[in-house]
Amino acid sequence: MKVEVEKLIAFLFLQIHFPIFLLNDIANRNLSLPYICFKIMSMNIRYSVTFLLVVLVAMQSFGQSENFTIANNIVLTKDSTLKSKLLSSFNSFLSQKNKPAKLNTCVLKKDALETSLLIDELRDIEKSSRYRDTAFYKGYLTNLISLDSSNFLLQLAYIGIHDGQPLLRANFTVAAQKTDSGYFFHSPLRENTADWSNQTIGTTRVYFNNCMDKAYVTSYLKMIEKYDRKLNAPVIPTAFYCTANFHEVMQLIGVDYKSDYAGFAHNSVSGRVLDSNIVVNGTLAPNTIKFDPHDLWHDRLHNVLSVAIINRPVDEGSAYLYGGSWGMSWKDILTKFKTFVSNNPSADWLTLYNESKNFADNSKYPLNVDFMINALLIEKIEREKGFSSVIEFLSCGKKEKGNENYFKALERILGYTKETFNVRINALIAASK
């Protein structure tokens, strides 16, 4: 229908020579109807009435909502009242998708935790940084399924057009429920896992189908508990879904496809609403990659400290110390560093720090001098000053040219200055075990 209307508009343009900018904006729904009417009526009166009628038809044909267009080949319910109310409510849900789930008036409180995962994926879905367009991708309702008189599934695609070619950003499946108060929307996660088993491990309720290695999942959760205890993070009940891979993660929460994750085999999503956490994990199934304590440390740290104030080399140093790196333990990394030190007895640590020198040249994976020095410093700070001073060190601000903020924090906490850095670091290395 849209293509037919665009052809009709194009034909009229050729006949009556209306400004092309207005036609383009009408086709793309970028102008308000009052503005369009004003522009048309201000033109030659003998064309205005005819053209205004065409515009009204076009505006109606392009869909019923400002947030999505109804694909003209889908079958909707024959109940016009139900259809009108359901689609109006869905439009309201989508108009609030950039808000947290708990603030979306079309999400019930009982569904907010699971739905927070879906809303995270919907947020800013129209934007394209590549094409510098905040509304590049348009929403199209592609399917409406009535499961029964009160439950529905709506499928939504986001598509952009570039050089005449359609570019698919994402496909979503959103569950809808009819209540006495109206229509409300949620992630289909709970329905998709209704027949799964579950087990409580500590403060975590683990949901699994047939893919959970209990010993492995338990070790993962115990590592989280250990890190959170060190970080003095609050103990929060967690719903933890153990899946086979990231594709299953996405399917469960209602994301049928998203181009951002093309090719991802193993990954996880997580969310928090009030005093509850949710994790849908696609890395812990048997015969998949093992979880990395280094990355897990980053995840837990970033839950309690904003990345806006974290100094990355200090962050990486803490992950070396508490989680190793690239499958190597902290002791393994320290041994490699000691070899580098013995081969470079006159090393200028200040220069190597600022250069972020790789001290594992012959290794498959890089290991950086600045990260290593910070690991040793954090070990000393925690031992002598306590972990609160480690948090202060981590929070010294993003890395900047010359590392001035870093050295101010280091001098405040340990008394190290740029002038004494080499001497102090040599002593620190010599004392490390």
276 SS3 class: strand
Tell me what pLDDT residue 17 has. 38
Report residue 277 CA to chain centroid gap: 15
Strand partners, 270: 279
Tell me what pLDDT residue 286 has. 64
Give me the DSSP letters along 104-132.
Answer: -TTS-GGGHHHHHHHHHHHTTTT-BTTTT
Tell me what pLDDT residue 65 has. 60
* For the chain, domain boundaries: 2-61, 69-187, 197-291, 312-431
Strand partners, 269: 280
Tell me what pLDDT residue 399 has. 94
DSSP 8-state assignment for residue 75:
P
Q: What is the dihedral of CA 189, 295, 285, 288, to 10 degrees?
A: 130
Residue 381 CB partners (closer than 8 Å, separation 6+): 389, 390, 393, 413, 414
pLDDT tens, residue by residue, 144-153: 999 999 999 9
Q: Are 90 and 173 in contact (CB under 8 A)?
A: no
Both tokens assigned to 318: 């803490």
DSSP 8-state assignment for residue 144:
E
Closest CA to 122 of 144, 109, 107, 143: 107
Q: What is the mean pLDDT of residues 263-278?
A: 93
Tell me what pLDDT residue 421 has. 97
pLDDT tens, residue by residue, 33-66: 444 444 444 444 444 444 444 444 443 444 446 8
pLDDT-above-70 percentage for the chain = 84
pLDDT mean across residues, the chain: 86
Q: What is the mean pLDDT of residues 361-388?
A: 95
Beta strands in 180-318 (DSSP E): 182-186, 197-201, 204-208, 238-242, 255-258, 268-273, 276-281
378 SS3 class: helix
Tell me what pLDDT residue 18 has. 37
Tell me what pLDDT residue 361 has. 82
Q: What is the mean pLDDT of residues 271-298?
A: 86
User: Residue 319 corresponds to which amino acid?
Assistant: A
Q: What is the dihedral of CA 27, 30, 34, 39, to 10 degrees?
A: -70
Closest CA to 301 of 318, 321, 282, 284: 318
Cα torsion 132, 135, 138, 144: sign: positive
DSSP 8-state assignment for residue 245:
S
Half-sphere exposure of 212 (CA within 13 A, CB side): 20
Half-sphere exposure of 188 (CA within 13 A, CB side): 20
Tell me what pLDDT residue 213 has. 79
φ/ψ bin of 397: left (φ > 0), alpha (ψ from -120 to 50), beta (otherwise): left
pLDDT at 281 over 70: yes
pLDDT tens, residue by residue, 109-122: 999 999 999 999 99
Tell me what pLDDT residue 258 has. 98
The pTM (predicted TM-score) of the whole model is 0.75
399 SS3 class: coil
Range name among 10-14, 92-96, 154-158, 312-316 with the lowest pLDDT average:
10-14
φ and ψ of 314, to 5 deg: -70, -40
Both tokens assigned to 266: 């193993």
Tell me what pLDDT residue 284 has. 83
Q: Are 381 and 393 in contact (CB under 8 A)?
A: yes
Q: What is the mean pLDDT of residues 328-336?
A: 96
Give alpha helix (H) positions in 133-282: 189-192, 214-230, 246-253
Pairing of strands 69-70, 138-146: parallel
User: Residue 255 corresponds to which amino acid?
Assistant: V
Q: Are 244 and 211 in contact (CB under 8 A)?
A: yes
Q: What is the mean pLDDT of residues 289-293?
A: 78
Class of domain 69-187: alpha beta
Range name among 5-19, 205-219, 241-255, 371-385 with the lowest pLDDT average:
5-19
Tell me what pLDDT residue 289 has. 57
- Residue bearing the bigger pLDDT, 213 or 417: 417
